[in-house]
Each structure stands twice: as C-alpha cells, then as structure tokens.
Structure 1
C-alpha cells in the first residue's frame, strides 16, 4: 500500500531535512542497493543529550558520492516520523535489502519512486482544498503547518 510509504517518506524527508530524491527512487527499474537507502540502512542511536534518534545511512547523495548519515528524533502529534515509519513497516514490511519506502504491490515489493511520491502529495493537497506544490515547496509548506 503506497499511502503509509508516502506519509512516512514525507515526514522523514521533512524531519531529517533531506531531499525527496535521497529517499525515493527515480524509476521502478533503477533501484541499486549500493546507491539507494534500504531498510537495513536504518539504525537507532542515542545522541549526546541522551535522546533516541533514528539514523538513516544514505549510501550516496546529490552532493556526496560517499554518502552521509541523516537522522530525526520523535516528534509529538500527527506528523511524528517515528509513528509514520513504524506504520509503514507494519503495513508494508519491506525486506532489509529493499528500498526503505518499498510497498507491497501484487505480492511483491515495489520501491517508492519520486514520480509516484509527488503526484500522491498533489492529490492529497487537492483533496484538502490546497493548491498543489512543486519541489522544495512541499518541505516549506509542511514546515509552516508544523509550526502552527
């Protein structure tokens, strides 16, 4: 089911200030485990303040070919990325070696593509009576929503 993967991807990219392209796949046939974030690239750690953080190892980013770690901490309310990720794992249960936001489709797992992610956000915005956004405007808009 794509909805939990889309919601989890949205809250993860916002709360970790990452690009959607770092957590989605360009197209269905382009997933490469050495380049794209997988479920096995997620780990739990404790920061220097003793807070639990969820860390995502991005094997490669737009600006860093060697990759980097990105993270978020639990938030309170309906946009909590921890709850969204747990829901995604519960419903879609992507294999460890598959794309992080893979979802079940016809008895197999399909990676969440950017071309599936953005149109789903557009449909949700229209259904909520909002103007659809493009590119980085999604993060800016979600940030405005969270700050109210």
Structure 2
C-alpha cells in the first residue's frame, strides 16, 4: 500500500492526515478502507470523505495496486480508533487508551486501560490506576483510543 503511505502530501494540502489503510474481506466482497483524520483534530464530515474518495479514484486507477475488484471506502477512524503505527501513539499521547495483550503480563493482566504516557521505540507505557504498565508493541493484539463510553469506566 505504498501508493498511500508514500504519497500523502496532497492530503496534507487539504488539512488532512492519513490514519490507516485497511484491505479486508467482508462476506464475498473486498473493501479498501482509507481512514483519514483532520490534522487540526476537528470533526470529520462526509463531504471531505467524498472529496478524498473522488481524488483517490484516478490515483488508484493509474497505480492499480490491487488486482481483484473491491469497494473503496473513505472515512474517519472513529473515536475508538486502533493505534497501529508509531505516529498514532504520538498523536494521542496523554489520552486514555485500552490495551488487549496476546498473553497476560507479569501482573496477570491481559486487558487494561489508562493514559498513554509514552512510546519509545517498541516500548509503550500506560499509566493505569495500579501504576505504570510497560509492554512491547508486538505483545498487544489491539490498542485503541478509548471512545466516550470507555471514558466513564
């Protein structure tokens, strides 16, 4: 998907940033989902998503990065967005995240939430009510920004 990650200057010119690109199958159909965010943190709107979709069509037609047919969807990563790339952690540092690990850590916790305090290399530190928890990015099955519902727990 280098066609996306390598060429995002035009998105930046629109005041946007690329959050993620996901190619996945749902039922019999394939979907190319391009998740974008406003660089200033303001709310994403459908007109902006439509503008990006229309701008992407000729780029994808020319680059032709995917052989099979698919549906293109452009949208916001949402409130409970997944954190998958180092820059995601930078963007949400100081905010509440939820973490699911593949295996329980040394404290016996497999799931926890807290304030993201840092990501240095592959080591992520979260301040939880029980104290700081450090883990390697590769040990996490899912890391998400907490959405409004999660903030009350």
Scaled to the shorter chain, the TM-score interval is under 0.3
- With the length of structure 2 as denominator, give the TM-score of the two structures: 0.26
- With the length of structure 1 as denominator, give the TM-score of the two structures: 0.26
Q: Which has the higher contact order (CA 8 A, sep 6+)?
A: 1
Bigger CA radius of gyration: 2
Q: Which has the higher helix share?
A: 1
Q: Which has the higher strand share?
A: 2
